[in-house]
Amino acid sequence: SELLFLYGQLDPRVRHLVFSVRITSSIPGAWITNFSLTVMVVFFLQQRNPPILPTLDRLKELA
């Protein structure tokens, strides 16, 4: 989605981290989707102190 693309543009490390998590989790019979993994990574990066990625509300404030 455009939001995920934007997060990747804000910090290039996001793409690398998401790709690494997807590769690590790509075992046969895996029950979690790539989208779910991506959302979890984004959430994790938003919860850091200080946040690595802004929340959607913060993006609205910055726009």
pLDDT by residue (tens digit) across 6-39?
888 989 999 999 999 988 887 777 678 888 989 9
For residue 50 the two structure tokens come to 């200080």
Where residue 3 falls among pLDDT bands split at 50, 70, 90? Answer: confident
State pLDDT tens for residues 41-59. 999 999 999 999 999 898 8
50-to-2, 12, 19, 29 alpha-carbon distances in Å: 24, 17, 23, 36
pTM: 0.81
CA–CA separation, 42 vs 28, rounded Å?
Answer: 24
CA–CA separation, 20 vs 61, rounded Å?
Answer: 31
Query: What is residue 30's predicted lDDT score, i.e. its pLDDT?
Result: 64
